[in-house]
Amino acid sequence: MVTLMSWLTDAHVHLSDKEFSEDLPYVITNMDKMKIKACCVSIDYQSSLSTLELGKKSSLILPFVGIHPEKANEDLNTVVDLINENAVTISGIGEIGLDKTYVSDERGFSRQVEVFQKMLSLAEKLGKPVSIHSRKTLDEIFPILQSYSLKGVLLHWFAGSKKQLQQAMDLSYYVSYGPAMVYSEDKQILLLHTDLDKILLETDGPVRFSRCFGQKTAQIAFLPSVLFCTANLLGKSYDETLLIIEKNMSTYLGV
């Protein structure tokens, strides 16, 4: 049985994105009614400021602050200062990571690595979990991560190979799956090869998803569907799976 205190948490969503601005009061109301919390990630200084403000408005929003690899050329020091100044209220560092699709040469990628390492250093110093963007860069990311003593590591929207997934499991990292898993056989296979205590769920809104989601902007309200699919794949009840995900999230966040 699920207790009255059981909550589902979106492990990775961009609620500070302008796509959500007009509907945000309704989103937060729905989160409360559906008993869903959200790790609200940031991509740069401005979105980090917005994320921190959202965290002040609702205890359901867990603010993550950081620099996305696409924004690696922006001012690093301002985000570093923001993190240090708000260390008590920040729940985690993210979205951070590496992605070669945003750079045209080695110099650009080196800058991403520099920013990523600085964000990891802050997470280590402050004892904060990290939410990592790792599209096609897991082989570069794994050795970097192992240089730090990190509280909790999430490889969000995991899209690596089964071999890379096993490496993540060996390193005790968390991986998260989103709405695409409802219709993607590849994602379903990865889920079934993931250790039960390392599974988290996300929407990555405002990303749009096809098939049954009709290319609509991802809403936190999609999350129960992801949980239902996960339960079916694992051969467990919805309530039992909810308890597993809730425990995983608490361990990842260190709460």
For 8-253, give the CATH class: alpha beta
- Predicted pLDDT at 2: 45
Q: Spell out the per-residue pLDDT of the chain, length 255, in tens.
A: 444 568 999 999 999 999 898 899 999 999 999 999 999 999 999 999 999 999 999 999 999 999 999 999 999 999 999 999 999 999 999 999 999 999 999 999 999 999 999 999 999 999 999 999 999 999 999 999 999 999 999 999 999 999 999 999 999 999 999 999 999 999 999 999 999 999 999 999 988 888 878 888 888 999 999 999 999 999 999 999 999 999 999 999 998
Q: What is the pLDDT of residue 1?
A: 45
- Going by the DSSP 8-state scheme, the letter that residue 193 receives in this structure is T
Q: Give the phi and the psi of residue 66 in degrees, each rounded to 5.
A: 175, -175
> What's the Cα-to-Cα distance from 211 to each of 66, 143, 176, 179, 228, rounded to whole Å?
32, 36, 20, 10, 17
Q: What's the pLDDT score for residue 218? A: 85
188 token code pair = 């379903």
The structural domains of the chain, with segments of one domain joined by +, span 8-253
The reported pTM is 0.95
Helices (H), the chain: 24-34, 45-57, 76-85, 106-126, 138-145, 162-170, 185-192, 223-234, 238-253
Q: What angle do CA 56, 57, 58 make, to 5 degrees?
A: 95
Amino acid, res. 24: L
State the virtual CA torsion across 68, 69, 73, 75 in degrees, nearest 10.
30
DSSP, collapsed to helix, strand or coil, labels residue 20 as: helix
